[in-house]
Amino acid sequence: MRKRRAARTSSGGSGRRQLGGSAGIALDTHVLSAAPSDPRLECGERRELLTQPLILRVFLIGKHAHGTRAVGALIAEGDISVPPFDRIELVRFEALEEARAALRDQAPHLIFTDLALPDSRGLETFQRLREETRETPIVVLSEYEDDEAAFQAVRLGAQDCLVEGKLTPAILRRSMRHALARFAYDDAFRRSHESYRQTLEESDLPSLIADSEGRVIFSNSAAVTALGNQPRRIAWRDRDDLRPTIEFDSAAPAEVHARITDTLWSGRLAVLITLELRPVDRSAEQGPAINKARPPSLFEGLVSASPRMRTLFATCERIAASPATVLIQGETGTGKELVARAIHKRSGRKGRFVALDCGAVQESLIDSELFGHERGAFTGATARKLGLFRHAHQGTLLLDEIANMPLVSQHSLLRVLQEGVVRPIGGTDEVTVDVRIIAASSASLFEAVKEGRFREDLLYRL
């Protein structure tokens, strides 16, 4: 192995990781499903992994450039924090070939590089680094704002270009967080999925998770106890099939009463089956039953005597005070917005209820509607606009028919859900917002994901 010089420094807190996650909630006429750990790990192993400090490994390449010295100094001061990482390990290299040799050994999470190195100059530096790693984000450092090689590197795939004279802790922190956004998502996904799995495991409701082929990939203790055996497969005609058949390794197949709905499991589309344990109907032995109608159920002005709606009202009651996002699915005209308003009323949030029909706004204007814009940000922007997120601060924002939202806007919405900040179009400052998101759709978002019209990571968040 080639010998190389590498100076290492660390910064950031070394505290233990906090468990938890913001699982989303989905509502339909069948079931409440929270958004989704590695099923191959035992609970104790997963818990140990989650409490390990998460180290951000950064390569800093450059010898005498002011940019690399500035980045190294800011990180060494310990003022830069990049969730979900607990601390930063900075590995320095003076020459490109040293860094390339290290990349073959172990790839970092992030690379900062000057383009003028002892053994490489200009755009060639970026291109040779990219040959070694296609996955690692690369941030280019430059002494000049009009550095054409740096701009060309960005056009060819560099994550960002930072100018030496304008480098501040805030700019560096923002650049690093944007470059590492996917790690923040992966961490949130891992923790939320663990929370989802634990919730199902501790539930008294017998529940199974099956893949699209019907193979059972998870069953909680309540399900195994109720069935008397470990289920292997489940077969159903369609999502409205209330009597699917369960197959076992060491017992005959059994038909059960169940509710079936789509969900996510380990980042993949799956099916949640909730078993309904019903007593044997002996009404025929006891003569004709007397039909005693139950009084209608109420929830914030909504009235229904339907057993399904009673279940829905009970679900709304449970989730109203939670800050979790909610996804309401149902056909047009079934009252999705009424349910959203009722959840907002019961939540006790101080802010307003604001609604946006994503299908009624032009694609080019939806970001302006949601995030606002500064005066002169684009043609026709004659005045400053706050945007619906800021209007709904400390309240609730309903995104109706979210399946119609453009993919570009879906990316922006995902960032707001991850970081809780919005930046108006044409603005430079980020504004923190406290908004509960309720999304509604008459179309299946799971089908939209399969067709490439909707981001799977956003569906997970919702």
Output the pLDDT for position 27.
54
Q: Which two tokens stand for residue 72?
A: 């190294």
Report the Cα–Cα distance between both ends of the chain, in Å, rounded: 47
> Which pLDDT band holds residue 5 (cuts at 50, 70, 90)?
very low
Name the average pLDDT for the chain: 78
Q: What average pLDDT does this structure show over 353-357?
A: 91
Which helix (DSSP H) or strand (DSSP E) does residue 457 occupy? helix 456-461
Which helix (DSSP H) or strand (DSSP E) does residue 153 occupy? helix 148-155
| pLDDT exceeds 80 at position 110 | yes
| pLDDT one-digit tens code per residue, 112-146 | 998 888 898 888 999 899 888 877 889 998 877 76
Which helix (DSSP H) or strand (DSSP E) does residue 100 occupy? helix 96-105
Architecture (CATH level 2) of domain 302-461 = 3-Layer(aba) Sandwich (3.40)
| pLDDT one-digit tens code per residue, 269-288 | 788 888 876 543 444 444 44
What is the rounded distance in angstroms from the CA atom of residue 325 to the CA atom of residue 462? 6
What is the rounded distance in angstroms from the CA atom of residue 161 to the CA atom of residue 172? 11
3-class secondary-structure state, position 4 = coil
| pLDDT one-digit tens code per residue, 34-44 | 333 343 344 44
Measured from the Cβ of residue 300, the count of other Cβ atoms closer than 10 Å reads 16
Return the ∠ at Cα 336 (arms to 330 and 338), rounded to 5°.
155
Output the pLDDT for position 295.
56
CATH 3.30.450.20 intervals, the chain: 203-275
Helices of type H across 108-147 = 123-132
Q: Which two tokens stand for residue 247?
A: 């197959």
Superfamily of domain 8-17+52-181: Response regulator (3.40.50.2300)
| pLDDT exceeds 70 at position 411 | yes
Letter string b/e over residues 135-153, b meaning 16 or more CB atoms within 10 A of that residue's CB: ebbbbbbbeeeebebbbbb
Write out the DSSP string of 404-446. Answer: GS-HHHHHHHHHHHHH-EE--BT----EE---EEEEEESS-HH
| pLDDT exceeds 50 at position 267 | yes
Tell me, what DSSP letter sits at residue 18? P
Output the pLDDT for position 430.
85
| pLDDT exceeds 90 at position 385 | no
Which helix (DSSP H) or strand (DSSP E) does residue 75 occupy? helix 66-76
- Of 73-77, 85-89, 347-351, 439-443, the least confident: 73-77
| pLDDT one-digit tens code per residue, 291-349 | 444 455 677 777 777 777 888 888 888 888 888 889 998 888 888 888 999 899 888 88
To the nearest 10 degrees (0 to 180), the angle between helices 96-105 and 123-132 is: 20
Q: Are residues 306 and 335 in contact, defined by beta-carbon separation less than 8 angstroms?
A: no
Q: Are residues 180 and 190 in contact, defined by beta-carbon separation less than 8 angstroms?
A: no
| pLDDT one-digit tens code per residue, 9-23 | 444 433 333 323 344
CATH 3.40.50.2300 intervals, the chain: 8-17+52-181
| pLDDT one-digit tens code per residue, 139-189 | 998 877 767 888 888 878 888 888 877 888 888 888 888 877 766 656 666
Say what percent of the chain tops pLDDT 70: 80
CATH 3.40.50.300 intervals, the chain: 302-461
Q: Are residues 449 and 456 in contact, defined by beta-carbon separation less than 8 angstroms?
A: yes
Say what percent of the chain tops pLDDT 90: 16
Q: Are residues 427 and 386 in contact, defined by beta-carbon separation less than 8 angstroms?
A: no
Q: Are residues 27 and 262 in contact, defined by beta-carbon separation less than 8 angstroms?
A: no
| pLDDT exceeds 60 at position 89 | yes
Output the pLDDT for position 296.
59
Domain 203-275 - what CATH class?
alpha beta
Report whether the peptide linkage leading into residue 84 is cis, meaning its omega lies within 30 degrees of zero. yes
Q: What is the pTM of this model?
A: 0.47
Output the pLDDT for position 317.
84
